[in-house]
């Protein structure tokens, strides 16, 4: 049986991956690297370990111990932990970060990919086993978008691609073709809460991939947490990029959206 490593952050995506990979005959060695990793991951994977965020030496040692030669990196790990002091990078991680031109997402992740490669560990396309989670274009909910919402969705997606190209974030909140919030280090859900409140029940959430998205990391993802943030802030609709955005727990998300009158469109 082939072995694959899973470096896991927060959310349902690592669980979905572990189940899919095991269903294809792979042994999954999961390593949680952020506080709040889904509890189900320990059951979905063949083996489960935890490593403190920034403990690069320990992470690499575990992968070698388990004879892992290929990994995928899935789940939410926001950089705010580095700035808040809740993460304590080891000497190897500190050296890696100190040598970077900036701390943008792509810069940090590409450096980590190179570090893994230097130890003989390849990083797989995040969607290798879960492409079925990328919905095609269409309206997913019972509620259809209004013409005004469609115009905002197209406007928002265009802006989301632009901020992605600058490696700022992947989500923009808009209303009446005005920008209410832009995702940065705080992450998607916090961005939605801020922008949704400003939108007063009419905000549109737009999520798109970066124009030159590296599929080994940071592929945009929507799931139950996204919808919960929308409900909490009163956002009205969500648009995601077709064929480039993952939708986790699709049935749950759509059922909740239908129940609360939220429109979800893929375009």
Please give the full DSSP string across 102-129, using - where no structure is assigned.
---HHHHHHHHHHHHHHTT-EE--TTTT
Greatest CA span in the chain, whole angstroms? 56
Residues 6+ apart with CB under 8 A from 119: 60, 63, 64
Residue at token pair 């999961």: 30
pLDDT range class, residue 1, cuts 50, 70, 90: low
Q: Pairing state of beta strands 263-266 and 138-139?
A: antiparallel
pLDDT tens-place string over residues 85-141:
667 889 999 999 999 999 888 999 999 999 999 999 999 998 888 999 999 999 999
pLDDT range class, residue 190, cuts 50, 70, 90: very high
Q: CA–CA separation, 114 vs 104, rounded Å?
A: 16
Termini Cα distance of the chain: 39
Residue of 52 and 30 predicted with greater confidence: 30
**pLDDT over threshold 90, residue 36:** no
């Amino acid at each position: 049986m082939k072995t694959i490593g899973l470096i896991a952050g927060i959310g349902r995506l690592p669980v979905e991956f572990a189940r899919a990979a095991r269903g294809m005959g792979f042994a999954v060695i999961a390593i949680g690297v952020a506080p709040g990793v889904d509890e189900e991951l320990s059951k979905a994977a063949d083996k489960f370990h935890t490593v403190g965020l920034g403990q690069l030496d320990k992470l690499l040692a575990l992968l070698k111990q388990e004879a892992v030669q290929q990994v995928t990196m899935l789940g939410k790990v926001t950089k705010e932990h580095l700035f808040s002091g809740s993460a304590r990078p080891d000497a190897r991680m500190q050296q890696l970060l100190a040598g970077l031109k900036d701390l943008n997402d792509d810069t940090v992740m590409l450096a980590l990919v190179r570090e893994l490669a230097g130890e003989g560990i390849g990083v797989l396309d995040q969607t290798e086993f879960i492409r079925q989670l990328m919905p095609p274009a269409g309206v997913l909910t019972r509620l259809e978008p209004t013409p005004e919402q469609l115009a905002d969705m197209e406007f928002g997606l265009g802006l989301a691609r632009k901020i992605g190209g600058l490696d700022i974030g992947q989500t923009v909140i808009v209303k009446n073709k005005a920008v209410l919030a832009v995702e940065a280090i705080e992450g998607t859900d916090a961005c939605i809460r801020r922008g949704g409140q400003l939108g007063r029940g009419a905000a549109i959430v737009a999520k798109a991939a970066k124009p030159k998205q590296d599929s080994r990391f940071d592929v945009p993802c929507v799931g139950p947490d996204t919808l919960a943030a929308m409900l909490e802030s009163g956002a009205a609709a969500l648009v995601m990029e077709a064929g480039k955005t993952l939708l986790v727990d699709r049935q749950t998300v759509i059922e909740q959206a239908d129940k609360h009158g939220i429109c979800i469109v893929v375009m």
